[in-house]
Structure 1
């Protein structure tokens, strides 16, 4: 009986020793509920299943301490696995069989023979020659361990939360220029988005972040020379101490230590910042970070509420209706509320040189596009929502002025200027009255054109506030890298349209998957350069619901590209001249009225008067609601404050060009009025201006309209 007890004890010890063995052979498997991990030799680290949410994830974690600490996760953005999942070690790697096939969590470069969970925390696959064919140290997630490196071009991404190890909202990148930088996710690697830097830009290629056993974090260049100490190191290196470096959920990366002998908790040895509001994007859109007792607190803009009360990174949204400005609701008005000592990302669409806060407030109230203004005492930068990267900064005098909506009291003074309701003595364009038969409409149209050409100068000019335009002055546009646009357009795969000097492609903004239109200019000579700069200078600072919005640009040597909002219904030509898509009469008249509003803005309401010079149905785009927007300003002319006309070479498209172009006369906004008149005829008749498939007397639409008008008098 005693011998039997000895045999049982020996069997137990042998089984335990086998469990502690780090070598794993092909054919081995793990399940979440039984035989769930492969341990390192000391039992400190484990590879296998761990609890996440309502299921399980696969990764590496510290099993030798009471506080489970995950240091690496496989396919971290996959949904959790169920409790009947089975992870198998095959000749192709580590895979979970699914109904669709094998889901590989580890895919080595060649056939593995066995694997090991090392005491360093590195999980390694070897071939039959004991060569490493895959190791977790080469694929870090949010954590580095001693002996591990972050290679040039690689990144660490924070976890979503302490309990969810999927990808979060911050990243730490070892850039190819030698600089170690922190950014929010889904942002370009440029200075405006950085919130930590090692200040080693220009140190050369192949710089790596290294982690020593004594807690030393340092940068080595390609020659092995130390170019920067991130931490000083020199911490105890005995077996009783653990170290790890992590980019935390809150965006700050820290060096932690853990004393195994004292069974203590993790303690911070070093951190990239002691201000927890430093990480940009910690608070969501339309909210800002305030530090209270060294803890970050996210607060909404005035009259805004959290999108999700339980998640501060979800951002905030208005608690009032936002369209009263454009609808001129007499029972509703706007006022401005102020946030002092706050900083925000500056994506202003207009910069006014103002030193008076009240002038800045009035300028925003009178502009329906302005939803907030950033005022620093000398500049009033008009912004659209959402605002982001907001934080309280007591060291700045900058203030944010937020437009908020309030119901109008019955006794409100009617003399207060309402946004979008400037009294300019306009007489209108009379398009609203175009609801007669086609022939009668043509007669009225000709009268309207003649009337407008003689009376357009009766409108009052708005005073220019920004002086002469320069390419970058007053223009707040995102500058894209060419590689970004290649990725956004899937290498310029889907073509939306083609012109004489450019091609337009569909793209998706990285991260949000919001569609955009990317125009690539084909001309790289002086003509193409002029069109590129003109487009940015004109549309980059004009904002109206009937003008296509320019979102950004790329200027990379000969590569010149422009990024616009996406217009899902194509051009007016696509709709008007395709029989199956032709709008009804009322819808066509609505399109005509909205185009006219766009021209009224260009000619009379902009800081600088703009002549488009190339009006045609192909340059009028339609959004998802069939609202028309004027586009393609590459040939446009800007007039200075003291100009009413300009002399230039002939511009535009045959059939739409006003007679004064051919007579070399000075050009005014009347040139656009003529082109618009031709487009109106096409809208009314649903046919092209020139159609040689028709009898000769009907082929040219404006001549046909004039002859009908003349004979009816």
Structure 2
């Protein structure tokens, strides 16, 4: 795929978040899709295979920048059939075939003589197969291209199947997201299985970030979009580093990234991270440690997600805040800890016994931890106005159902378990009065595993 007609501009010109179309007032870009593989490559012949065991090397692109093969999944005891940046020490993965089912030791990926491309375990049981290849497609060979695209090609070098048509959580330069296509975040930094967020180029033309009804696959709540219903058609990430949405006539109607990042000098990727933030990353090819972020969406996911079901940006009873690096952080309040210590975006549980509703005097065993600018919207079951803070405290203290009271501008909201959409932000105002059990007459001090 090649995108033509994109203007040049100074590297990293200043923008804030969403680029305004006013920067390019009269751009009309048309796309010329080259189905042929118009770059150098090394043929991977029919009958070739790679195994998780033995001396097999991954299939590399001509420049050596990308590799296709197996990577061990930490803690899973299996392997991910994937494509990664091979010249980087961290081997950043950009595509995977079996993200939900790590391949056991002894598994093999094979390009059969009849053009089938299948991953199977050591007993020959199929784990994954390249789908959508038409009957009689005439696959002649495979190739790992310098764009990061792995292709099953015909004799005339046209693509019968390619990884660019089935992205996982990442887009690369020269790649596009067509109507009906989506990215799905991984579950965590170390867990590549499908996670809690998805990015969809909808059939109606709108480009949308959604929370997912995890562990199912339907969407729950939209938290960012281009608002291009009826006009959007295709998201393009071109080789100059521009990322933009086009209309049906090919004209640019929305820029996600208007700061060019030259592909000959920088590695780059557009990734929907496990925290739900869509980021355009870049990294100098000449060296440097780690990825930098060009643009990201949304600017504050803690405030953007407000869903009637589900935990929100973080899990139930957890709190989301934006750090100095602009990344969202999830943390349990004092007296709470993660249900699953390895899932930092997950649910928090109280580390104390719940208040009994059968003994009115038991309220004396509980007290409050105060947190300013903190709230769990949509978790309230009672609201009082106008009242004093002391009245609000006492009302929550004697109510066995009350887990948290929010006091703000003479308003008192009582919250029930589980708490959802938790956020800490200066725009929230007021304070949260979090009820926890005392120890020896003092407030709860158990480690919250933040």
TM-score bracket, shorter-length normalisation: 0.7 to 0.9
Counterpart residue number, 1:27:
47
Counterpart residue number, 2:285:
260
Q: Within 1, Cα distance between the matches of 2:64 and 2:295?
A: 27
Q: Within 2, Cα distance between the matches of 1:407 and 1:34?
A: 59
What is the DSSP-based 3-state SS (H/G/I as helix, E as strand, rest coil) of the residue aligned with 1:321? coil
Query: Using a 3 Å threshold, how does the CA distance of structure 1 residues 100 and 362 change in structure 2: closer, same or farther?
Result: farther
CA contact (8 A) 2:363 2:398 kept: no
Give the 5 Å matches for 1:284-683. 284-294=315-325, 297-309=329-341, 311-326=343-358, 328=360, 333-377=365-409, 379-406=411-438
What is the DSSP-based 3-state SS (H/G/I as helix, E as strand, rest coil) of the residue aligned with 2:148? coil
User: When you count strand as a share of all residues, which structure comes out higher?
Assistant: 2
Counterpart residue number, 1:50:
71
1:312, CA displacement in angstroms? 2.8
After TM superposition, where is structure 1 displaced by more than 6 Å over at least 4 residues in a row? none
Query: Is 1:217 paired with 2:243?
Result: yes
Query: Using a 3 Å threshold, how does the CA distance of structure 1 residues 326 and 115 change in structure 2: closer, same or farther?
Result: farther
Query: Using a 3 Å threshold, how does the CA distance of structure 1 residues 330 and 355 change in structure 2: closer, same or farther?
Result: closer
Structure with the greater relative contact order (CA < 8 A, sep ≥ 6): 1 or 2? 2
| C-alpha RMSD over aligned residues | 3.3
Query: Using a 3 Å threshold, how does the CA distance of structure 1 residues 50 and 330 change in structure 2: closer, same or farther?
Result: closer
Q: Within 1, Cα distance between the matches of 2:145 and 2:260?
A: 24
Query: Using a 3 Å threshold, how does the CA distance of structure 1 residues 353 and 109 change in structure 2: closer, same or farther?
Result: farther
Query: Is 1:103 paired with 2:123?
Result: no
Counterpart residue number, 2:9:
none
Q: Within 1, Cα distance between the matches of 2:287 and 2:333?
A: 47
CA contact (8 A) 1:259 1:265 kept: no
Query: Using a 3 Å threshold, how does the CA distance of structure 1 residues 152 and 398 change in structure 2: closer, same or farther?
Result: farther
1:56, CA displacement in angstroms? 2.0
Counterpart residue number, 1:539:
none
1:293, CA displacement in angstroms? 4.1
CA contact (8 A) 2:275 2:328 kept: no
Give the 5 Å matches for 1:115-264. 115-127=142-154, 130-186=157-213, 193-198=221-226, 200-204=227-231, 207-237=233-263, 239-262=264-287
The higher radius of gyration belongs to 1
1:564-596 deviation digits (Å, cap 9, x = unpaired): xxxxxxxxxxxxxxxxxxxxxxxxxxxxxxxxx
Query: Using a 3 Å threshold, how does the CA distance of structure 1 residues 278 and 80 change in structure 2: closer, same or farther?
Result: farther
Counterpart residue number, 1:616:
none
1:396, CA displacement in angstroms? 2.6
Query: Is 1:69 paired with 2:92?
Result: yes
CA contact (8 A) 1:252 1:279 kept: no
Q: Within 1, Cα distance between the matches of 2:363 and 2:399?
A: 19
Unaligned runs of 5+ residues in structure 2 are: 1-39, 306-311, 442-450
1:663-711 deviation digits (Å, cap 9, x = unpaired): xxxxxxxxxxxxxxxxxxxxxxxxxxxxxxxxxxxxxxxxxxxxxxxxx
CA contact (8 A) 2:208 2:222 kept: yes
Q: Within 2, Cα distance between the matches of 1:60 and 1:232?
A: 27
Query: Is 1:38 paired with 2:59?
Result: yes
1:215, CA displacement in angstroms? 0.8
What is the DSSP-based 3-state SS (H/G/I as helix, E as strand, rest coil) of the residue aligned with 2:205? coil
- Specify which of 91, 108, 119 is matched with residue 86 of structure 1: 108
Counterpart residue number, 1:571:
none
Structure-2-length-normalised TM-score: 0.74
Q: Within 1, Cα distance between the matches of 2:375 and 2:363?
A: 33
CA contact (8 A) 1:195 1:278 kept: no
CA contact (8 A) 2:363 2:397 kept: no
Q: Within 1, Cα distance between the matches of 2:418 and 2:191?
A: 27
CA contact (8 A) 1:342 1:398 kept: yes
Q: How many residues align?
A: 384
1:227, CA displacement in angstroms? 1.3
1:209, CA displacement in angstroms? 1.6
Query: Using a 3 Å threshold, how does the CA distance of structure 1 residues 326 and 169 change in structure 2: closer, same or farther?
Result: farther
User: When you count helix as a share of all residues, which structure comes out higher?
Assistant: 1
Q: Within 2, Cα distance between the matches of 1:366 and 1:201?
A: 50
CA contact (8 A) 1:251 1:279 kept: no
CA contact (8 A) 1:331 1:408 kept: no
Query: Using a 3 Å threshold, how does the CA distance of structure 1 residues 161 and 305 change in structure 2: closer, same or farther?
Result: closer
1:26, CA displacement in angstroms? 2.5
Counterpart residue number, 2:13:
none
Structure-1-length-normalised TM-score: 0.48
Counterpart residue number, 1:590:
none
Q: Within 1, Cα distance between the matches of 2:330 and 2:128?
A: 39
1:303, CA displacement in angstroms? 2.7
What is the DSSP-based 3-state SS (H/G/I as helix, E as strand, rest coil) of the residue aligned with 2:164? helix
1:2-60 deviation digits (Å, cap 9, x = unpaired): xxxxxxxxxxxxxxxxxx95322332111124223222233322211122224321011
Query: Using a 3 Å threshold, how does the CA distance of structure 1 residues 311 and 274 change in structure 2: closer, same or farther?
Result: same
CA contact (8 A) 2:104 2:121 kept: no
What is the DSSP-based 3-state SS (H/G/I as helix, E as strand, rest coil) of the residue aligned with 1:313? coil
What is the DSSP-based 3-state SS (H/G/I as helix, E as strand, rest coil) of the residue aligned with 1:255? strand
